[in-house]
Chain A
């Protein structure tokens, strides 16, 4: 019996069909998905902070509106993704607890600080760009609710990315001070953006099983290469350079060669040593704890209401 179920699951996955919430699935598949989707949801929520840092200081009303709408979209993405985990039996409150207790991770990129308004543009261009490269293949991932959430998220992310790039284009057409600000921001974000694809394939532990389950579709190194290939012409159009002396076109490979990020820094930040790790979690914890009385009040009011309706 169990073998039949497993066989049917394998066939569904192999044939590129979707697994739906009520279908049988192996425990490992369920756990891996919850971990991955929750990590993605947490990233959206924590990711509100570095950009939210500039809403109050946005230098034009148009940019303020765009930035506020973008950060609001990220809250929306977090919501869709937490909802997707709920179809697997997870619980948003429990996942939030795991996040603020440091038992679940979020994308390490958000542990870097946003120091100038150019960072808002560079995050849109490079960080959202790298996220899209990671996420586009997930639109075809085997778990239906996740794939559908990702289709919507990718469309919105691609719009965010365009907004970021447009901000940088505008800044590059401004004063020398603005152009310097953009280049400085690119210098600070380029390597962390490359790290977003995860460690080199040789050191990545989760890849193989996830590829077989069609939860993951490309290796870290494949995606990183794709990202570099796409980013170089954009940098040239913008008039900025990447801080990598080894980056150059390789006509034999038909791809760009490029250097490796500092993987020691990557692991240091992943393990909690980044400039903003503690701050990001403390911020999220404070919002959650300060809001506890509000959530309790809403639940108490709803419960009274149900009782009154029941009595009527």
Chain B
């Protein structure tokens, strides 16, 4: 480009100028979007919403760190992770929308709280709000990314070609997220007395939300060969967490489980009180201007 006219590229030119990339191009171009024979499409849509909402809502939480991280490098890293998850959410909501006849934005902005299928771990405030700090944020990232990485590595074998492709693409991203969280867990566990205390408190804060990640839902049971049964991931994920915690000199919290509500939790659309506020903020503008184009 010429440097004499700042506006030269305003209406054309190539797109490759993001410093860190956005990952929102046609990531799945060329993937077969036919539904495999014999698959319960409603269940498939529900499953895509589960995994898509996990990524969307967690991305919304993580992006709260933007301009608030302890170092510029960390600001960039957390934004990167939020962007990866947002990209995963978009692909999964789009897939759900192919069954439901709605696009990604209709699903993200026009569903009510009871229609969101994400796990509670994705929605709780782990900082920078009053619900946590950087250590709590890292504790959630460690648990979430270890779990999702194990899930996606099995999902690559899904009978649904789109889910398999989303998993394949997401795997590298999640491996980086887990690695980033593990490194910080070790650093904070080992660093100073204060960081050790905070890291342990962060783990204690997120631990009650771990059980829900491994609870099998009826939708997953109905999608044998398409979905992954999360119960099958438990020992692998436990092993990873154990290894990271012991390298950090941290104690695995007692297995306390957050009780369900009349037997229901996030996968059933029953959330924590934090969720309503999160959605109010996220959806407000989109809902305020019906018919607008963005």
Contacts and interface: CB of A to CB of B under 8 A. Distances in A.
B34 interface: no
B289 A283 contact: no
A287 B294 CA distance: 31
B187 A177 contact: no
B175 interface: no
B133 interface: yes
Interface stretch (A10-18, A150-158, A190-198, A203-211): A150-158
A294 B6 contact: no
Interface in B180-236: 186-188, 190-192, 194-195, 198
Contact of B17 (A64, A77, A156): A156
B272 interface: no
A78 B71 CA distance: 11
Contacts of A171: 292-294
Contacts of A78: 72
B17 A294 contact: no
Interface in A161-184: 161-162, 165, 167, 170-171, 173-175, 177-178
Interface in A41-62: 45, 48-49, 52, 55-62
A73 interface: yes
Interface residues of A, number: 71
Size category of the binding interface on chain B: 35 or more
Contact of A59 (B72, B188, B192, B294): B294
- The A interface is mostly helix, strand or loop, or mixed, namely helix
A301 B199 CA distance: 14
A148 to B, nearest CB: 13
A170 B22 CA distance: 20
B83 A177 contact: no
Interface stretch (B8-16, B37-45, B165-173, B263-271): B8-16
B163 interface: no
Nearest to A173: B293
B69 interface: yes
Contacts of A304: 190
B108 interface: yes
Nearest to A289: B70
B284 A297 contact: no
Contacts of A48: 66-67, 75
Interface of A: 45, 48-49, 52, 55-66, 68-69, 71-73, 75-79, 82, 117, 129, 132-133, 136-137, 139-140, 152, 154-156, 158-159, 161-162, 165, 167, 170-171, 173-175, 177-178, 230, 234, 283-284, 286-287, 290-301, 304
Given A75-B72, A158-B9, A291-B134, 8 more contacts: A59-B294, A62-B24, A68-B83, A79-B72, A117-B294, A165-B10, A178-B293, A292-B70
28 contacts: A45-B72, A56-B60, A57-B282, A61-B108, A62-B90, A69-B22, A69-B83, A75-B79, A76-B20, A79-B72, A82-B72, A133-B6, A136-B3, A139-B3, A140-B3, A154-B3, A158-B6, A159-B15, A174-B294, A175-B293, A178-B289, A290-B133, A293-B198, A294-B71, A296-B195, A297-B194, A301-B188, A301-B191
